[in-house]
Structure 1
Amino acid sequence: MYDFPSSAKSKSRVSMKLEAIEIKNKRKEAQ
């Protein structure tokens, strides 16, 4: 989905953001 061949750092940042969003969604489902 996200392709940043110029920089691996931006890739990791995006993945971290996606993980944070998934965690928030899981918390919402749990409540």
Structure 2
Amino acid sequence: MDVLFDWLYKWTLIINFVQHLPSSPLTLRFK
């Protein structure tokens, strides 16, 4: 469970970071 929680936490940070970037292939992919 600890590994899963860590994985989800890291992805949450990555997604939040990407969403705040200017328009780019990565942000378009998440939307």
Percent of aligned positions that are identical: 9
Aligned residues: 23
Gaps of 5+ in 1: 1-7
Structure 2, unaligned runs of 5 or more: 24-31
Cα RMSD after superposing both structures: 1.6
Q: TM-score, normalised on structure 2?
A: 0.63
Which protein has greater RCO, CA pairs closer than 8 Å, 6+ apart? 2
Q: After TM superposition, which residue ranges in structure 1, 4 or more long, deviate above 2 angstroms?
A: none
Q: TM-score scaled by structure 1?
A: 0.63
